[in-house]
Amino acid sequence: MKLKRKILVFLLPALLFSGEMQKTIQKKVTAYRDQYSPTGIAVIAIGEDEGEPFQQIVTRGTLSLTTTIPVNPFTEFRIGPITQLFTASILAYFVQEGQVSLNDPVSKFVPKSTVLPTYNGKEITLGDLATHTSGLPDMPYSLSSRSSFSVSQMYRFLSKYQLPREPGTECEYSNFGYAFLASLLSRLSKRSFPELMKDQILHPLNLDDTVFTLSAEQKKRLATGYEQARGIYPLLSEKVYSIFIGSGGLYSMPRNMLTFLSFCMGREKTSLNAILPIMETPYHTFQNFKMALGWQLRSIEEGDCYCLGGSLFGFAMYIGYLPDKGVGVVILTNQGDFDLTSFGEELLSTMAK
């Protein structure tokens, strides 16, 4: 707790400064909650206000419908698909270290006897897995069967699956593809995936409250997720997610996501900064967008936008930034029915002007 107090004292001056842009963001968050009524919402913003750089966390609402405890910068949210950026960061680290190439076929990292799907002889690459272009499905089976889905079952499924098209030719969201990527990275490092994530990404960035398994203290700060006005058991993934943690298993709090966003935008001085160009370079190009490692790259009116969003188990999330404008935003809410893309782009456009 002493460490958290020291961090709080260090960061508060920058967060308390409130110029016109920050006031505008606060008003937009309030208006969004008034219109759509999410139980709780946290918006993390980085940009410039009256010529001065700022970092801001705006929170509204409560941890659940049955409590008056407000959402705050230390509230734990499930960050769902944003987990994939962390998984892709591990891959980028291995690329930067020369241990792998994005063009390496996945067959290079499994036993030779393993049967993997191909299309007309074309193999899936590591880069295909990290950009949702592998041709693998979103999920191998129904939700009810994920509770017992194991690594051996994953390889059994792969041995029987027929790719519908050549890898790299189309982008189709695949939780299973990221689960497979996480398994390969774990195998390559000879460590469990949670250990690998902590050692390579979370610890260097000092993201101590970004975890796969919450401590007793963190559970007290956890928001309850909702879908269709029904509460979702907040620790559901610990029972049903098994090998899928690399696709959507992380929890985090707004303070940590502020640091992660700042890192992605190149504003943090860390040992991991060398992986950022690898993360940002498009690996596949399509008609209206490009796919980088974990990121989708789209053009909006204010410039090229790196973004990722989605929902999971009663939570919705969005992260995006405009590198040429120096602005970025993360939105977390415990309302899984929402698509936060439009709101995220609205905030980015507002800050970019």
Read off the tokens for 252: 């985090």
Distances (CA, A) of 199 to 96, 174, 177, 181: 16, 26, 23, 17
Q: If 0-12 CB within 10 Å is exposed, 13-18 middle and 19+ buried, where does residue 236 land?
A: middle
Q: What's the mean pLDDT in 72-99? A: 98
- Contact predicate 204/267, CB 8 Å: no
**Which H or E run includes 260?**
helix 254-264
Cα–Cα distance measured from residue 196 to residue 192, given in angstroms and rounded to the nearest whole number? 6
For residue 234, pLDDT beyond 70: no
At 8 the pLDDT is 37
Q: Is 206 left (phi over 0), alpha (psi -120 to 50) or beta?
A: left
In sign, the C-alpha dihedral spanning 281, 286, 287, 288 is negative
Query: CB within 8 A of 128, min separation 6: which ones?
Result: 134, 135, 167, 168, 177, 284
pLDDT digits (tens, 9 = 90+) for 208-225: 999 999 999 999 999 999
pLDDT at 172 over 80: yes
Q: What is the predicted pLDDT for the residue at 5? A: 34
> In this model, does residue 2 exceed pLDDT 50?
no
pLDDT tens figures, 190-199:
999 999 999 9
Give the domains, in start order, of the chain with CATH numbers: 2-79+208-235+250-352 (3.40.710.10), 86-193 (no CATH)
Instruction: Decide if pLDDT at 13 tops 90.
Output: no
pLDDT at residue 12 in the model: 42
> What is the predicted pLDDT for the residue at 235?
53
